Amino acid sequence: MSDGQQKKTFVITRFDPDRDDAPRKQAYEIPVHPDWKVLDALNFIKDEIDATLSHRWSCRMAVCGSCGMMVDGEPRLTCKEALDQYGDTVDVAPLANFPVVRDLVIEADGFMEKLTSVKPWIIRAKELAVEEGPMRQSPGELEEFKQFSMCINCMLCYSACPVVANEPEFIGPAAIALGHRYSLDSRDEGAAERNEVFRGEGTVFSCSFANECSEVCPKHVDPAAAVNQAKLNAAIDWATSLVLSRGGSK
């Protein structure tokens, strides 16, 4: 690399639980290419300067969702963020509101438990026989939930969410959006089960509608809209069941 190549300083949050009592900052000045993403710079540091740096990535195409980090204080997919939009110093830290495993790697087990709790799969009382063929779905029926199906579980919305920051038990925007996606699916019969989950403590009614989750979503899922739609559906479902139960008791 030539001496005239542009350089940037990366200030990276480091944390080794076996050696560190608390996270610390470490700076690296490196030459950068004009077409690099933030992830390219992190990989360069890892490969060429400091092999002890730990960070998570996989597809490099903004599909797998694994390379989410705080970049200059904002939750971002580092494989998607063009480096030339940042200044001479770039601060990179692990996603906020998550336990840190090491350096830029966060613990996602809690998120996966929340995701599983909303049953993000098609639920049916009875499976169709194979000879009946596939269940058909119109373009209009697909459009009902397609937007919410674009979530890649990158967890950026959890880092941006002020409710998650103050109430760690909050089920969170991505889990609600994916649960809601299946409740809208014409092939699904599990909406009542999910509505029961959504009416529980720390779920849809804990949302303050700050809209930060939708602002940072790299796939434009709009989880804030999903949360508010899920609120309405859960309330309607509760009211309907209450009316029906009273009607049956006469």
Tens digits of residue pLDDT in 82-116: 999 999 999 999 999 999 999 999 999 999 999 99
3-state secondary structure 129-165: CHHHCCCCCCHHHHHHHHHHHHCCCCCHHHHHCHHHH
Give the global pTM: 0.90
pLDDT value for 145: 97
pLDDT value for 5: 80
- Taking the C-alpha atoms of residue 246 and residue 241, their distance in angstroms, rounded to an integer, is 9
Of 45, 52, 42, give the one whose Cα is nearest residue 19.
52
Beta bridge partners of 9: 29, 89
- Taking the C-alpha atoms of residue 225 and residue 203, their distance in angstroms, rounded to an integer, is 14
pLDDT in tens, 182-218: 999 999 999 999 999 999 999 999 999 999 999 999 9
Query: What fold does the segment set 109-248 form as a domain?
Result: Fumarate Reductase Iron-sulfur Protein; Chain B, domain 2 (1.10.1060)
pLDDT value for 240: 86
The model's confidence at residue 125, banded by pLDDT at 50, 70 and 90, is confident
Q: pLDDT > 70: what percent of the chain? A: 96
Domain regions of the chain by residue span: 7-106, 109-248
The model's confidence at residue 1, banded by pLDDT at 50, 70 and 90, is very low
109-248: same fold as 7-106? Answer: no
Q: pLDDT > 90: what percent of the chain? A: 87
Query: DSSP class of residue 48?
Result: I
Query: What fold does the segment set 7-106 form as a domain?
Result: Ubiquitin-like (UB roll) (3.10.20)
pLDDT exceeds 50 at position 133? yes
Across residues 27-51, what is the average pLDDT? 97
